[in-house]
Amino acid sequence: MVWREKGAPGGLRVQALGEPPKDLVEHEGSLLVRRAQRGL
């Protein structure tokens, strides 16, 4: 699901059912996806 959220990077919020949480991060004018690192 994608929706507009003014406080989020790029003005977008993204969530998918059944997927681990991911964050959008703005870096040098690009939007990147950051996900939690798994324990080794």
**Dihedral pair phi/psi, residue 22, rounded to 5°:** -135, 150
The reported pTM is 0.52
b/e burial code for range 14-34 (CB count within 10 A of at least 16 → b):
beeeeeeeeebeeeeeeeeee
Express each pLDDT in 10-40 by its tens digit. 888 888 888 888 888 889 989 898 887 776 5
- Tell which residue, 27, 24, 7, 26, has the closest CA to residue 35: 24
CA–CA distance from 11 to each of 2, 5, 16, 27, 38 (Å)?
10, 5, 17, 14, 27
pLDDT at residue number 40? 56
User: What residue segments make up the domains of the chain, in order of their start?
Assistant: 2-35
